[in-house]
Every structure is written in C-alpha cells, then in structure tokens.
Amino acid sequence: MLNFTLGLIFGITGTIWYLVFDLKFDFDSNISVNFVIACATCIATAIHFDSVSKQRKDRVWDINKQVLLDLTYSLSEVIKETEKEIAREYQYMNEGEKINDSKGNPFVNLTDKVDYILNVYKPLMNKELVNSIKHHNDIDIRITHEVNNEGLENLDAYLEMQKEHKKLHSFLIKFISEVSGTKNT
C-alpha cells in the first residue's frame, strides 16, 4: 500500500511539473511521449524481475519446507535430550548413580534426517545450508569416533555436541525465516 501511495504521489507531482515546464518551454510532445514510454518500460521490467525472484524464492520454500521443518524439530528434540544427558552426567559425577529415563532416541531420528538431506535433498537446497548441515554431521562423526576410540569423556562430548546442535538450530531458524518470507513480519 505504501508503494502504491508513493507511486501515486510521484506520478501526480511529475505530471504537474511536466505541465508547468511544457507551458513555459513548449516541449516537443513526441519526445515527451517517447520518454514516458521508456520510463514505463523500465518500471515494468523492474517489476517483472522482482516478481520472478519472489516466485523462485517461493518455489525453493515449497520444495524444502517439510524437510527443513522436520530437521528443525528433530534438532530441537536432540537439544532437549542432550540437555537431559548432560544433567544425568553431572548427577552421575555427584551421586554415582546413572538414571536412564529416555523415551526413544531422537539422536537416531536426527541422523536419519541429516543423511536424507545430504544424500537425497542436497541438489535442491541452498549450498550454505548444505555446508552447515555437512559440517554438523562431520563434527558428530568425529566426536562419536573420539568417544568410542580415543577416550573422550561423555560429558565433554555432550557439551561439544550441544554447542553444535544449537549453532545449526539457530542457522536453520534464520534460514527458514528468510526463505519462507516471514523474516520481516
């Protein structure tokens, strides 16, 4: 609405100024008409390119919407479970007993979603997003290897992965808000 109002104001102002100068300097009307046609063509071209870029952005969002939302949800579940695991590790360090009240394994769900994205959806996604997910996956693989083979403590592994999960989660939230068009609402 603001663009329409500003366009209307500039159009009326430009018309008044043209009439004032035309009456004073007696412009050639053929040149004036050609100038107005050229300006209108430039404006129509700009509107067309803006429309095409919005359509492309909408297609990208429609294609990736479900996968990105599923990944974000899985990542938020893993963040919650990692926080619980960190609390359990601290409790084990303080009290000596390990309590396992897990109701499923969101870590496997996240791994499946990441593998699906990296192996199937990769060509349809933004390169920066794919690189961020790949970086997260590489760190997960490295930390798992260090825990299993190099004696990395579980608490240290959980803390490091928690940081990586939160970093990817915030990147995903930002990316989703930009691509979905809800960033400015």
Euclidean distance between CA atoms 27 and 154, whole angstroms: 83
Euclidean distance between CA atoms 145 and 148, whole angstroms: 5
Low-confidence ranges of the chain (pLDDT < 50): none
User: Whose CA is closest to 12, among 51, 20, 110?
Assistant: 20
Contact (CB, 8 A) for 106 and 74: yes
Identify the pLDDT of residue 99: 61
Identify the pLDDT of residue 97: 66
Q: Over the stretch 31-72, which tens digit does the pLDDT of each residue have?
A: 878 888 998 899 999 999 999 988 888 888 888 899 999 999
Identify the pLDDT of residue 172: 93
Q: What is the pTM of this model?
A: 0.72
Contact (CB, 8 A) for 75 and 110: yes
Identify the pLDDT of residue 104: 63
Identify the pLDDT of residue 164: 93
Identify the pLDDT of residue 76: 93
User: What is the C-alpha end-to-end distance of the chain, expressed in Å?
Assistant: 15
